[in-house]
Structure 1
Amino acid sequence: MLLYNGQLLLDEDFALTLPNRGLFFNDGFFETLVWTNGAIRYLPHHLARMQRAAAVLDLTLPSELATAESLTHTLGRLATSNAHRLRLQFWRSGGGLYTPETTNCHWLATTRPFQPNDAPLAAAGFAETVQTRLSPVSFCKGPESLTYVLAARERAQRGLDELLLLDMAGHVAESVSAAVFWVTDNCLFTPALATGCVAGVRRAHLLQVARKHGLECQEGLFQPAALLQAETVFTANVAGIRVLGSLGEIRWKTTSPLLLRLRAWDTGH
């Protein structure tokens, strides 16, 4: 089942109508959410990113998705079991060429079973074919997706478990589909959004809980050497926290007291 503009449909009964500005011009964005225990995980962070993306793209969020309560109620119609991975796609309605004709949008919600993934990542490398770049839409998911498609392709071709992307000035930015963090001298580091990385909801949540518990956190523009000299490196997205084992000749610790505390705070234990 799926939800298209609020209508519950079987997958085989759904078809996109043309013109479609999402297909023609990538005029929209998407959000990936996890539904567990009757609720959306990291809901405030998802809603904040959706509202910011809509504002930047000059789109009007549908009323059934515009608040925490309505978003939970609407997506709950698809959540028939305890754990779901939901994808919420928005694109501008109407036709035209580059100049939009309306701020209204169509939306589509699809679902598949959710499997958390905290498995370690043995071998990482720095991307050689793509870079991130800061733009008015680099914080949200969708407009810059081709960068991550090409990065995932490079990762597979090089036989790596993870690929770390740099920005155009050579600063560490993110991984293919997750934020990157590292631990040095009992401090948590992560690249700033100024690198053009996605404003990940798990990234925002981890920084929030870490600061709440008095942990020193630094967001900034860091050269690769800072990450290579770290004690522990990990990625984080809605699916899980995954520790990196090595990059070239560099070997990192696969656990640390700080990371153990962070995992406990993240789950509320």
Structure 2
Amino acid sequence: MLLYNGQLLLDEDFALTLPNRGLFFNDGFFETLVWANGGIRYLPHHVARMQRAAAALGLALPPELATAESLTYTLGQLTTGNAHRLRLQLWRSGGGLYAPETTECSWLATARPFQPNDAPLATAGFAETVQTRMSPVSFCKGPESLTYVLAARERAQRSLDELLLLDTTGHVAETVSAAIFWIADNCLFTPALATGCVAGVRRAHLLQVATKHGLECEEGLFQPTVLLQAETVFTANVAGIRVLNRVGEVEWTTGSSLLVSIRAWEAGQ
């Protein structure tokens, strides 16, 4: 089953109508959400990012998606009580060329079984073919998707488990589909949004939880050498936290007790 503009349909009964500005111009954005224990994980962070993305693109969020309560009710129609991975795609309605004709948007929500993934990443490297770029919409998911498609392609071609992206000035930004963090000197580090990385909801939640428990956190512009000197490096997205065992020739053989605490703090939320 799927939801298209609020209508519950079988997958085989769904068809996109043309013109479609999402298809033609990538005029929209998407969210990847996890439904578990009767609700949406990191719900306030999803709502905040959706509202920010809609404002940046000049879109009016439909009432059934605009608040935490309405979003939960709407997407809950696709769940059966089990954990689900939800994808919510929004695009501008109407036609036209580059210049939009309306602020209204259409939307599509789909659900698939959710499988968490906290498995360590054995091998990783820095991207050689793509870079992130700061833009008015780089914080949300969708407008810059081709960057991550190409990054995933490079990752596969190099037979790596993960690829670390740098921005145009060589600062560490993120991975193909997750935020990047590292721990050094009892401080939690992550790249600033100025690198053009996605404002991930798990990223926001981790920073919130760490700050609440008194852990020093630093968002900034960091060269790869800073990351390579860290005690522990890990990625984080809605699917899980994954420790990096190796980046290039640098290998980490022991974990961080501070990361154990961070996991426990999250679980206690």
Question: TM over 0.5, yes or no?
Answer: yes
Paired residue secondary structure (1:30): strand
**Which residue pairs with 2:133 in the alignment?**
133
**Which residue pairs with 2:188 in the alignment?**
188
The AA in structure 2 aligned to 1:249 is E
Tell me the CA shift for residue 253 of structure 1: 4.1
The AA in structure 1 aligned to 2:191 is P
> Deviation above 4 Å: which 4+ runs of structure 1?
none
Tell me the CA shift for residue 81 of structure 1: 2.9
**Which residue pairs with 1:120 in the alignment?**
120
Deviations 1:214-244 (A, max 9, x none): 0000000000000010110000000000000
**Which residue pairs with 1:213 in the alignment?**
213
**Which residue pairs with 1:169 in the alignment?**
169
Q: Aligned partners of 1:53, 1:76: CA distance in 2, in Å?
A: 22
Aligned 1:64-79 pairs, distance under 5 A: 64-79=64-79
Q: Aligned partners of 1:262, 1:18: CA distance in 2, in Å?
A: 47
Tell me the CA shift for residue 82 of structure 1: 1.7
Deviations 1:203-224 (A, max 9, x none): 0000000000000000000000
Aligned 1:46-125 pairs, distance under 5 A: 46-125=46-125
The AA in structure 1 aligned to 2:268 is G
User: Where does structure 1 lack aligned partners over 5 or more consecutive residues?
Assistant: none
Task: Indicate whether 1:19 and 2:19 are aligned.
Answer: yes
Q: Aligned partners of 1:37, 1:259: CA distance in 2, in Å?
A: 24
Tell me the CA shift for residue 191 of structure 1: 0.2
User: Where does structure 2 lack aligned partners over 5 or more consecutive residues?
Assistant: none
8 Å Cα contact 1:244/1:254 also seen in 2: no
Tell me the CA shift for residue 248 of structure 1: 2.1
The AA in structure 1 aligned to 2:45 is H
Q: Aligned partners of 2:37, 2:233: CA distance in 1, in Å?
A: 30
Deviations 1:59-96 (A, max 9, x none): 00000010110000000000113200000000000000
The AA in structure 2 aligned to 1:215 is L
Q: Aligned partners of 1:47, 1:117: CA distance in 2, in Å?
A: 24
Deviations 1:102-133 (A, max 9, x none): 00000000010000000000000000000000
Question: May I ask how many residue pairs the two structures share in their alignment?
Answer: 269
Change (3 A) 1:9 1:115: same
The AA in structure 1 aligned to 2:98 is Y
The AA in structure 2 aligned to 1:55 is A
The AA in structure 1 aligned to 2:225 is A
Paired residue secondary structure (1:122): coil
The AA in structure 1 aligned to 2:97 is L
8 Å Cα contact 1:243/1:254 also seen in 2: no
The TM-score with structure 1 as length reference comes to: 0.99
8 Å Cα contact 1:231/1:253 also seen in 2: no
Q: Aligned partners of 2:151, 2:112: CA distance in 1, in Å?
A: 24
**Which residue pairs with 1:262 in the alignment?**
262
Q: Aligned partners of 1:184, 1:219: CA distance in 2, in Å?
A: 13
Q: Aligned partners of 1:61, 1:255: CA distance in 2, in Å?
A: 43
Deviations 1:134-181 (A, max 9, x none): 000000000000000000000000000000000000000000000000
The AA in structure 2 aligned to 1:100 is P
Change (3 A) 1:266 1:253: farther
Tell me the CA shift for residue 254 of structure 1: 4.7
Q: Aligned partners of 2:230, 2:148: CA distance in 1, in Å?
A: 25
Tell me the CA shift for residue 9 of structure 1: 0.1
Task: Indicate whether 1:235 and 2:235 are aligned.
Answer: yes
Q: Aligned partners of 1:250, 1:19: CA distance in 2, in Å?
A: 50
Aligned 1:244-255 pairs, distance under 5 A: 244-255=244-255
8 Å Cα contact 1:182/1:188 also seen in 2: yes
Aligned-residue RMSD, C-alpha:
0.7
The TM-score with structure 2 as length reference comes to: 0.99
